[in-house]
Every structure is written in structure tokens, then in C-alpha cells.
Structure 1
Amino acid sequence: MLNKRYLPSITALQCFEAVTRHLSFTRAAEELNLTQSAVSKQVAQLEELLQHLLFRRVRRRLQLTPAGDLYLVEVRKILTQVEMSTHYLRSYGGETEVLRVSTPSTFGARWLVPRLKGWRLRHPHIHLDLCNEQEADDLLQGRSDLAFYFGQGSRPGTECVKLFGEELVAVCAPGCLPEKPFSDPTQLSELVLLQNASRPQAWHDWFDSQGYHTEHSYHGPRFETFYMCIRAAQVGCGVALLPRFLVEEELMEGKLVLAWPHAMPNHDAYYLAYPEHSAEVPKVRDFVSWMLEQIDSPVQP
């Protein structure tokens, strides 16, 4: 349960945010249709609650303190979320439901999103709220109704439905390959091995699965997401090790080619998870059933 003693009012947060933009209590008061003293009092009460000064005066000008800077980031997120939620309810009332789904960003953009038209046609009154947050407790704390994730099929307090596995293939732009074919896969390091931050062992394991080892397995530019690796490979930055299903389109169109024919099956897989207590919630059950239909189905045009 939230402790109301430590919850500031929305008015106090609005006053603080307005003052940070104008760096003036007077102009913030004008924007909010309040008196200057009322705005000043709200900020003072906020500082008392936080036990930190949010502003300081330097040569008669207001400046945010380090604590104020930190707090501002979170306050803007909160006010934006409240505004979005208010607009949503004003627009849709009780006629629709919202289903919050978290997903890895590249998986969501390249595999999930192209299939969402089918969901919309079948369930027009259930609106999806997609995000790429991947905190382990998102589901259990109610921030998401369902979550796609890659890994093992076991998470405390959740039901995990296996979707499919993956094969990792080495791909690059067509112009990157030399005229004379490589005689062994370790020669790919001559083209630069593009690293993915979420799979630091990937190149080492890929070489090892063929009985090869190279000191260059961990060397090369590092990218946060698969999408960035895909783009880097497309523009000729090097060779990327990627799940084949994420680059099937580029391979078919010739924008990427296999730099070496070996495909390494991964021991992990993609799962769809939801809290155990949500198993009989209709919108959750409907999404899981629909998703299982999509695994072997082509994308609707």
C-alpha cells in the first residue's frame, strides 16, 4: 500500500515542472493561473517532503540543484503518463480495453508489429499498449499484462508459453565478401565481427559449435539492439550474427547474404509470459490463443 505521507500532490508537481521551464516563480504562476506565492508555497512543501532543495539562486537567477535535476526527469514522466491516461479515458470511455504488452524492441518491430493487423481485425475493442521495458518484475507488479522474452521457460509467479526457437546465422552486405571464398569461418574476423550487447558470448559459441576458436570472438563494434546490428551489416560495417527469422526478408531481397553457411540452433527460445492469476482473464487468454496461431502463419498483407 502506498504511504500517502510521502505522496506529493499533482499541483505541487505541476508547479515544480513549470518553474523548471521558466526558471521563474512569477511566469510559472501566470501559466498555471495561480499566484506567485501559491506556486512558491507548493515548491517549498515539495522540498520539505523530499528533504532536498530543488532550486538555488545564483546572482538573482534560479537554477536547479542536482537533486532538482534528478527529480525533474521522473516528474515529467509521471505528468506525461497522467496526461496520456486522461486523454485515453476521455477518448474511449468504457467501450474498449487496454492490453499492455512488453517486448524486446527488435523482436517487436520486425516480427510482432507486422502481425498486429490481424489482432485488430479480430479484437477491435482491445487496444494494445506496446512497450519495450524488460524488467523482470513488470508482470508481477502489474506494469504489463503480458511479456515476450527470450530465455528459459521458467519465471516465478508466471505462466510461460513457448513460441519458437531460433538459429543464429552470420550475415553481411553482399559487397563485403571477397571474391575468393573463405576456407574456414574464423576468417570472417577479417571483415569485423559486429557484437550485440545482449549476446556477448554469441560469436564465441557460434565458432565453438563448428569446432573453431579465434581470439577475435569478442572484438568489434558493440550494438545495443539487433536492429542496430542489422543496419550496421546492411551498410557494410562488418558481419553480424543474428537470428535468421529477423533477417529473412533482407536475405530474400539480397540486401544481406550469408557470410558462412553454418546456422547455430540456440538452446533458449522466445516465450510469452503472463501472471498466473491472469490465466483466465479474457483479453489475456484471447491474446495468447491468437499469438499461438501466428507462429506458423504468414503475415497478412
Structure 2
Amino acid sequence: MKTETNKPLAFRKYPSTTALQCFETAARHLSFTNAAQEMHMTQSAISKQVAQLEEMLKISLFYRTPHRISLTPAGKTYYLEVLEILKHIEVATTSLMSHSDNVEVLKIASHPTFCSRWLLPALSGFSQAHPLINLDIKEQVGPFFTEDQNVDIAFLYGDGIWGGMEAIKLFDEYCVAVCQPEYLHDKNPCTSNVDNCTLLQLSSRPSAWYEYFKQQGISIDGTFIGPRFDTFHACIAAALLGYGIALVPLRLVAPELQSGTLVTAWRYAAKGRGSYYITYPLSLGRSHKVKVILEWVSAYLETSNQHELMLGHVLNSIDIVDSL
């Protein structure tokens, strides 16, 4: 005997997608006439769909006057929710239609700057070599592995320990203080006196500058004052524009150091507290698409000799502090 909780979906009351589309369009235009033109329907048909939706919900979604309509408070709330629902349907439908039956989708998550400056170059040519694996790459700060995220692979920074996850170390992090060459002309910066320098801040690492100087045995009193940014990408962009000095991972800024568009303000590369890892749920350990991406990244690390030589050249020009 079926209970109330396991009744088929068809027996529950849900509005049709047509009714939701009519409501969303009318709410966006605040006009049944304009909604009818966009939907290629008659005005009366749009009005009828919305009226049936209101009847099913047992609540008014619009205030109606002879010359205009406006959303009720409930209508405004429902509009935002319906808009998200329709977007999800559109994305799911487009994604399904764009892939053949034998194509796998590999969902990847990465921090924004790491994605643009390391991951995308690393994955260059992957789609051509593996046409049956479609990459779906999301840039986000975190969290990465949640039910609503539905991620297969993530590139993370940390200690390599995440519950229920396999983590493979890619490389350590070394941070350098960089700025526009012209920024140093009148500053004459030294680590014992940074008061005349603007130190750019990363929101997620509020103590980074203190740790950078501490590793060198330098005690800095007071607080650092400078613009604060959400990503390394923004810090690097600000440094390029002469905003101040940014403390960023060497690998993410090596091209600018090699070209000379950025220079090191001080000859130190401080080893970070964590390293970069490629991670995936233990349940996906035997997944074909996960195995393929792991092999690709491993091969990229082994063959990117030119990049490693460039990093070596930069590291040889500065002092490295390995411990906190």
C-alpha cells in the first residue's frame, strides 16, 4: 500500500512550466501584453495561465488595475524563486541536448586565480585528446564538495587532509612580494620599515603579511593598511596598476616576473603553510573520467620542464625560507 510520501510525482500538485513561464514573463515586463508578445501567445492566454496559477496557489501574485499590473509581496518572492527554477531547467536541458549518449561530463572546481593561471594551461588540448569527456569547470572559493555542487574533481590548497577525499599533492606554495617596477622608485622599501609601502591584502589570508615577515625573523608592530581583495587575481591586477605590493604564490605570478612587468619588492620567497592538491571523492576512485584527468595532470607536471626551469631561475634570484 502506498503512503503519502511515496506517491508518484504526477499525483502531486505542481504548476506547469507554461504557467511558470507566463508568470515570469509577465512579472518581468509587468505587462500581460508585452508578455504575450514575447511568448507568442494572446494576452488572454497569458492572463488565464497566471489566473490558474494563482488559483492553484490560493494567493494573488499581481495587483491589477485597468491600466497596469504590479507584483504583490508574495508575487515578488515567488518571481525570484521561479526565475531560479526556470534557469535550472534551461541549463539542465541545454547540457543534456549538447552531449551525446556516450559523453561523460567531468565537473571540476578550482579557486579562480589557480584556474586561470595554472589549470587552464594544464588542460590545454585535453578536449581534443578525449572528445568523449566534456569539461565543466567552475571557479569558486569554496566549499567545493557539497550535495548541491556535485563536483568530481577539485584543485585545493591546504594540508591534503579532507574527510572522505583522496588528495594527490601537486606542488608546494612559495609566496613572493611583487609590485610594479616604478612603484619602488621613490619608496626604497626595506623589511625593517614598511610604513611607506601599501601592502595589498587577501581577504582569506588576513595574517599572510605577518607570517611573511615572521619567517624572516622580522617583527612588525601595528597593523597593515591597504586595499583588500577576494582573489589573488585581483591582487596581481592591483599590483600591475601600481596600487602597492602584493603577496602572491610564485607560480601564479611567474610570467609577470619573467617579463619584468612585476618585480620582487624583497628577495624572499616564503613557503606557505599548505600545498596544492588535486582531490576527488573516494567513491570516484575507479571512475574512468577521474583516472583520465589524473593521468593528464601527472603527464603535464612531468613534461612542463620549461615552466619549471623558469621557476628555478626566479627562485635562484631570491632567498627561500622553508619553515614557519
Evaluate the alpha carbon distance shift between residue 139 and residue 41 of structure 1 in structure 2; reply closer, same or farther with a 3 A threshold: same
List runs of 5+ in structure 1 lacking aligned partners.
none
Residue 286 in 1 paired to residue 292 in 2? Answer: yes
- Counterpart amino acid of 1:61? R
Q: Identify the residue that residue 163 of structure 1 maps to in structure 2.
A: 170
Q: 1:107 aligns with which of 105, 114, 120?
A: 114
Count of paired positions? 300
- 1:275 corresponds to which residue? 281
Tell whether 2:223 aligns with 1:214. no
Paired residues for 1:1-301 under 5 Å: 8-34=15-41, 36=43, 39-40=46-47, 42-43=49-50, 54-56=61-63, 60-65=67-72, 68-69=75-76, 71-136=78-143, 138-141=145-148, 143-178=150-185, 181-182=188-189, 184-215=190-221, 217-298=223-304
Residues 137-187 of structure 1 deviation map (CA, whole Å, 9 limit, x = unaligned): 6355562211112122222222222222201110000001136844x4143
- Partner of 2:321 in structure 1? none
Alignment TM-score, normalising by the size of structure 1: 0.85
Change (3 A) 1:67 1:195: farther
Q: CA RMSD in A?
A: 3.2
- Structure 1 distance, partners of 2:126, 2:67, is 58
With 243-252 and 262-271 compared, the bigger mean Cα shift is at 262-271
Deviations 1:235-270 (A, max 9, x none): 110000000000000000000000001111012111
Query: What residue identity is the alignment partner of 2:200?
Result: L
- CA shift digits 1:58-89 (9 cap, x unpaired): 89533345665555455444433433443343
Q: State the alpha-carbon separation in 2 of the partners of residues 122 and 129 from structure 1.
A: 16
Unaligned 5+ runs, structure 2: 308-324
Point out the structure with max Rg over C-alpha. 2
Which AA in structure 2 matches 1:188?
V
Instruction: Summarize the Cα distance change of 1:123–1:259 in structure 2 as closer, same or farther, 3 Å threshold.
Output: same
Bigger mean CA offset, 3-12 vs 215-224: 3-12
Q: One-letter code of the match for 2:154?
A: A
Share of identical aligned residues, percent? 43
Whole-angstrom CA distance in 2 between matches of 1:227 and 1:52? 47
1:56 positional shift: 3.9
**TM-score of the superposition, structure 2-length normalised?**
0.79
**Any idea what the Cα deviations from partners look like across 1:167-219, whole Å, max 9, x if unmatched?**
1110000001136844x414334120101112111111111212223345442
The 1:164–1:93 alpha-carbon spacing in structure 2 relative to 1, beyond 3 Å, is same
Deviation at 1:17?
A: 2.0
The structure-2 alpha-carbon separation of the partners of 1:6 and 1:155, relative to structure 1 and needing over 3 Å to count, comes to farther
